[in-house]
Amino acid sequence: MSYGDPNNPYGQPPQQPPAAPGYGYPQQGPPGMPPQAPYGYPQQPAYPGYPGGNMMQQSMPGLLVTARVFLYLISAVQILFAVIYLYVAAVANDVSDSADDFGLGGVGDGGDAVAGIAVIAALVAAALATLSITLGVKFGRGGQGVRITTVVYGALGGVVGLIALFIGLDSGLATAIIFPLIWVVFAVIITVAPVVPSGTAWFNRPRY
């Protein structure tokens, strides 16, 4: 009786074909290759920061954090100016009313004009403060729109600061130079932070 006979009860059992991997289990690939995802399931991306994964920044760069703090400080100054302008408008309005009571029409008209200009200045300062706070808040998840707006906003602020700095230098007063100089430094950092490679990468990062 031959061992090769399939009817031989003492012979070796016939070779079974290799079992196919079950549904829902990872498929084994060639040696050295990671197992493949099962049929019907998407490939899982590698975790960022690990070998083979896409390196992605998890925290805001330091220069952008500094620019964000400067935006909040600038907004506080702008709010302070808005309050001051409103106070000036109220005082000018009271002077105008008193002048009208005493029959001083010219003084009353001048008070009304000053009050109107002060109110407009207060509204502008309040709007700029709102923009500064909004940009600072949007740094966390903002995209290219926030980045471009910040660059333009910082550049315009720098121009205004330079004009004030030149005026202060022309006056020769040290107190008239310090504030514009600080303002220019803030504006430069706010303008440069979104432009440097770390800032650009932060605003271009993928969001899930």
- 33 vs 121: which has the higher pLDDT: 121
pLDDT the model gives residue 126 = 96
- The stretch 66-85 carries a mean pLDDT of 96
pLDDT in tens, 1-11: 445 555 555 55
- The stretch 24-33 carries a mean pLDDT of 53
CB-CB contact of 135 with 69 (8 Å): no
**154 token code pair:** 């910082």
3-class secondary structure, 27: strand
5-25 core/surface letters (b: 16 or more CB in 10 A; e: else) = eeeeeeeeeeeeeeeeeeeee
Report d(CA 65, CA 73) in Å as an integer. 13
pLDDT in tens, 80-132: 999 999 999 998 888 877 766 666 556 566 777 888 899 999 999 999 999 99
**Mean pLDDT computed over every residue of the chain:** 78
CB-CB contact of 105 with 99 (8 Å): yes
Q: Is the dihedral of CA 185, 189, 195, 198 positive or negative?
A: positive
pLDDT the model gives residue 19 = 53
